[in-house]
Amino acid sequence: MFYPQEFDVIVVGGGHAGTEAALASARMGCKTLLLTHNIETLGQMSCNPSIGGIGKGHLVKEVDAMGGAMALATDEGGIQFRILNSSKGPAVRATRAQADRILYKAAIRRMIENQPNLWLFQQAVDDLMVEGDRVVGAVTQVGIKFRSRTVVLTAGTFLDGKIHVGLQNYAAGRAGDPPAVSLSARLKELKLPQGRLKTGTPPRIDGRSIDFSKCTVQPGDGMPGGTPGAVPVFSFMGGQIAHPRQMPCWITHTNERTHEIIRSGFDRSPMFTGKIDGVGPRYCPSVEDKINRFAGKASHQIFLEPEGLSTHEIYPNGISTSLPFDIQYDLVRSMAGMENAHILRPGYAIEYDYFDPRSLKSTFETRAVAGLFFAGQINGTTGYEEAAAQGMFAGINAALQCQGKDSWLPKRDEAYLGVLVDDLITKGVTEPYRMFTSRAEFRLMLREDNADMRLTEKGRELGLVDDARWDAFNRKRDAVSRETERLRSIWVNPRSLPAAEAERVLGKAIEHEYNLLDLLRRPDVDYAALMSLESGKYVNADLAPVDAAGVPRETSAAADLARSVIEQIEIAIKYAGYIDLQKIEVERASHYENLKLPADLDYLQVSALSFEARQTLAKYRPETLGLASRISGITPATISLLLVHLKKNL
Ligand code: FAD
């Protein structure tokens, strides 16, 4: 039957890409249908119960800045938060959270169910309706035909998915879920260029069978024993959401015995016996891959991550494996604290179809079928965050197409999302693609902390940002500009700032007149130091650490605002010079097209480059910098770093 209603946008798949795509298109006013296998698995984390990390956290903040769901759901379900690289520069600082997967899913489902213009329907999609060269809807397993003007396909690891445990394998989309076989066959018929990739997951452990006293505890930020201060938040609206109870993680290690056990299973490994054809993610290798590739390493760290507050289940991060179950059992029990471990779910690898993203337009619409958009793992990426960002992007562009408006195409210097899309459509993938800060040449501009400053206004213009977020954003933006001007307008000179006071705060006396903004430029001077000048004479009451009644603002929304305003001002002023230099350097790199690269250059030793870039350059040995820049996987950032290396060393 034809379903009686027609839709603007049908989104197939309720994972991280699909939920963001559906929310975006519905928020933009398009009549949207989210068709997915199972409503219970909306927003399901197929693998690790964590969100964010370096590069990935940046994407989550960008999705959030445009009104997306991932950061809000993480704040609501997050049981441990950490700021990674907190002692490094702001470009590479990143938020990472452990999430209670049940709370996370519940938050996503609630947002989906309460979104106006968004309809949900549970059924497998087996076919697409195509008229001429245009998609006109989707057909479900029981033959229900839904008509629509556009379709966004976000089928994740499900297309012709095949699970491997040792030499056993079976068809599945992920453990416990069916594969999408008919849809995969239909897409092959449409002659979309396709390949196979694989990914894997570790066995899960019953926490009651682990002796945590033999492991090292790893608390989150703001927890006893962790980095002092408030527990971080993910969303720019996060100050208004209370996190649930926080939990620590633990660390154990593999050892020589573990490695022996793993090696003893190589002859029954689907990876090493040729049962798996798909290429796996380089940066999330299986434990057998690690032992094989880094044979000299005596031990690997394994993080024991809680899966939630209402379960004992533990995710042992670092032992993803598709070895036979008997080997999994022994390898788990060979590690400290795990001697009596009970495995709740076996680890496995999954192979699935992906489609070459070079066959997509810059909007993620397929070139072959008008109105058909792809987003998420189907485009050859890996990770919830990469999927969410792509989903939002495809959802926006599908909606814009329905509205007859111009597409939204963020540039590489505007957003990690711009980098992600540009990388995918120009370079394609040879292995599951994940985001790193090293992929962005303008990374000092594309920080987590300023994602809202870069994108919220655009989000509002597109209809994605609601009034509450828009008000909060404007309050912050106004406060940043007011405080910047205030600091610029306050002058101190050797008479008004006695030498002893200047030495206490600035490290030395000042020799002439400065405004406070100029003083803030100094590497050792932070905002708090300036405010302590002459016992807080220059404190701004709005940003003070106590409110008007003298109550500490540690956890209030006002404290959040104050922190983020101060952070923006400090970073903008301290890094202004570097940001300008970076722009010039990247621009200059484009002039080095014909620069000859030394034939004997040992790329593997160029430590400034990522491991992936070093391997690729060593493999292809390009003759010129221009040729190097066009090799798949070599980013403009790599070219800049290579140029710096050449200048220094040759
Ligand atoms: P998914 O989250 O897979 O969601 C796809 C959705 O589409 C599901 O809801 C599914 O039910 C639905 N669907 C599919 N086909 C149909 C259909 N025909 N009809 C209706 N609904 C359909 N990422 C990492 O970053 N690191 C890792 O180590 C890692 N390991 C992983 C291990 C395993 C075993 C798996 C399965 C995934 C792993 N991932 C890992 C990948 C991560 O889960 C994905 O990157 C992410 O979930 C992709 O999001 P998505 O929205 O594209 O797809």
Atom of ligand 1 nearest to the CA of 382: 45
Q: Is 379 annotated as a binding residue?
A: no
Mutate which of 157, 160, 431, 433 to test ligand 1's pocket (most atoms within 8 Å of Cβ)?
Answer: 157
Q: Name the residue at shortest CA distance from atom 7 of ligand 1.
A: 13
pLDDT top residue among 623 and 343 = 343
State the average pLDDT over residues 213-232: 93
Of the candidate ranges 268-277, 452-461, 465-474, the one whose mean pLDDT is the lowest: 268-277
State the average pLDDT over residues 146-153: 98
Q: Is 571 annotated as a binding residue?
A: no
Burial class (CB in 10 A: 0-12, 13-18, 19+), 352: buried
| Residue 139 reports pLDDT greater than 90 | yes
State the average pLDDT over residues 134-143: 98
Mutate which of 50, 144, 158, 424 to test ligand 1's pocket (most atoms within 8 Å of Cβ)?
Answer: 158
Distance CA 553, CA 543 (A): 10
- Ligand 1 — pocket residues by CB below 6 A? 12-18, 35-38, 41, 46-47, 124-125, 154-158, 173-174, 177, 180, 183, 199-201, 284, 350, 376-377, 382-384, 387
Can you give the pLDDT at residue 504? 87
Distance CA 554, CA 532 (A): 18
Distance CA 366, CA 174 (A): 25
DSSP 8-state assignment for residue 434: -
> Identity (one letter) of the amino acid at 554?
E
Can you give the pLDDT at residue 61? 98
Q: Is 280 annotated as a binding residue?
A: yes
Atom of ligand 1 nearest to the CA of 56: 25
Q: Name the residue at shortest CA distance from atom 47 of ligand 1.
A: 384
Torsion of CA 81, 87, 88, 92, to 10 degrees: 10
Residue identified by tokens 């990426």 is 381
- Write the pLDDT tens digit of every residue in 552-574: 666 566 777 788 899 999 999 99
Ligand 1 center from residue 18 Cα (angstroms): 10
Can you give the pLDDT at residue 642? 92
Where does 327-432 show beta strands of DSSP type E? 343-345, 348-355, 372-374
Q: Is 14 annotated as a binding residue?
A: yes
Selection from 156, 146, 147, 143 nearest residue 121 by Cα: 146
Distance CA 125, CA 152 (A): 12
Can you give the pLDDT at residue 396? 98
Can you give the pLDDT at residue 91? 85
Can you give the pLDDT at residue 240? 60
Q: How far is CA 358 from the centre of its chain?
A: 21
Q: Is 274 annotated as a binding residue?
A: no
Q: Name the residue at shortest CA distance from atom 23 of ligand 1.
A: 383
3 state DSSP class of 22: helix
* Count of C-beta atoms within a 10 Å radius of residue 486: 17
Can you give the pLDDT at residue 543? 80
Q: Name the residue at shortest CA distance from atom 3 of ligand 1.
A: 156
Please report the ipTM that was assigned to this predicted complex.
0.98
State the average pLDDT over residues 513-542: 86
| Residue 576 reports pLDDT greater than 90 | no
Ligand 1 center from residue 17 Cα (angstroms): 9
Can you give the pLDDT at residue 275? 85
Packed helices 56-65 and 451-462: angle between N→C axes, nearest 10 degrees? 40
Positive or negative, the CA dihedral 500, 505, 508, 512 is: negative
State the average pLDDT over residues 267-288: 86
> Identity (one letter) of the amino acid at 422?
D
Atom of ligand 1 nearest to the CA of 384: 46
- Write the pLDDT tens digit of every residue in 325-361: 999 999 999 999 999 999 999 999 999 999 999 889 8
- Write the pLDDT tens digit of every residue in 123-138: 999 999 999 999 999 9
3 state DSSP class of 393: helix
- Write the pLDDT tens digit of every residue in 27-40: 999 999 999 999 99
Mutate which of 20, 34, 36 to test ligand 1's pocket (most atoms within 8 Å of Cβ)?
Answer: 36
State the average pLDDT over residues 593-598: 81
Distance CA 380, CA 195 (A): 9
Chain mean pLDDT for the chain:
92
Ligand 1 center from residue 349 Cα (angstroms): 13
Can you give the pLDDT at residue 530? 87
- Write the pLDDT tens digit of every residue in 76-112: 999 999 999 988 888 889 999 999 999 999 999 999 9
Ligand 1 center from residue 72 Cα (angstroms): 20
- Which tokens belong to 273? 């016996």
Mutate which of 128, 377, 386 to test ligand 1's pocket (most atoms within 8 Å of Cβ)?
Answer: 377
Ligand 1 center from residue 120 Cα (angstroms): 18
Q: Is 193 annotated as a binding residue?
A: no
Can you give the pLDDT at residue 590? 61
Can you give the pLDDT at residue 506? 86
Can you give the pLDDT at residue 19? 98
Q: Is 164 annotated as a binding residue?
A: no
3 state DSSP class of 76: helix
Ligand 1 center from residue 15 Cα (angstroms): 6
Ligand 1 center from residue 124 Cα (angstroms): 15
Half-sphere exposure of residue 611: CA atoms within 13 angstroms, side-chain side: 2
Confidence band for 303, pLDDT divided at 50, 70 and 90: very high
Ligand 1 center from residue 173 Cα (angstroms): 8
Distance CA 74, CA 98 (A): 8
Can you give the pLDDT at residue 532? 85
Can you give the pLDDT at residue 442? 85
Of the candidate ranges 113-122, 124-133, 147-156, 522-531, the one whose mean pLDDT is the lowest: 522-531
List beta partners, residue 179.
none
Can you give the pLDDT at residue 372? 98
DSSP string of 203-263, one letter each residue = PEEEGGG--GGGSEEEPPTTSTTSSSSSPP-SSTTGGGS-------EEEEE--HHHHHHHH
Ligand 1 center from residue 156 Cα (angstroms): 4
Distance CA 587, CA 410 (A): 19
The pairing of strands 343-345 and 204-206 is antiparallel
Q: What is the pTM of this model?
A: 0.90
Ligand 1 center from residue 46 Cα (angstroms): 6
Can you give the pLDDT at residue 593? 65
Selection from 66, 95, 88 nearest residue 414 by Cα: 66
| Residue 324 reports pLDDT greater than 90 | yes
- Write the pLDDT tens digit of every residue in 471-490: 999 999 999 999 999 999 99
Can you give the pLDDT at residue 541? 76
| Residue 598 reports pLDDT greater than 70 | yes
Of the candidate ranges 59-73, 174-188, 378-392, 532-546, the one whose mean pLDDT is the lowest: 532-546
- Which tokens belong to 68? 């997306």
Segment holding 200, helix H or strand E: strand 194-201
Q: Is 447 annotated as a binding residue?
A: no
| Residue 162 reports pLDDT greater than 70 | yes
Distance CA 151, CA 138 (A): 8
| Residue 245 reports pLDDT greater than 90 | yes
Q: Is 156 annotated as a binding residue?
A: no
Distance CA 127, CA 188 (A): 11
Q: Is 514 annotated as a binding residue?
A: no
Ligand 1 center from residue 529 Cα (angstroms): 48
State the average pLDDT over residues 231-249: 89
| Residue 582 reports pLDDT greater than 90 | no
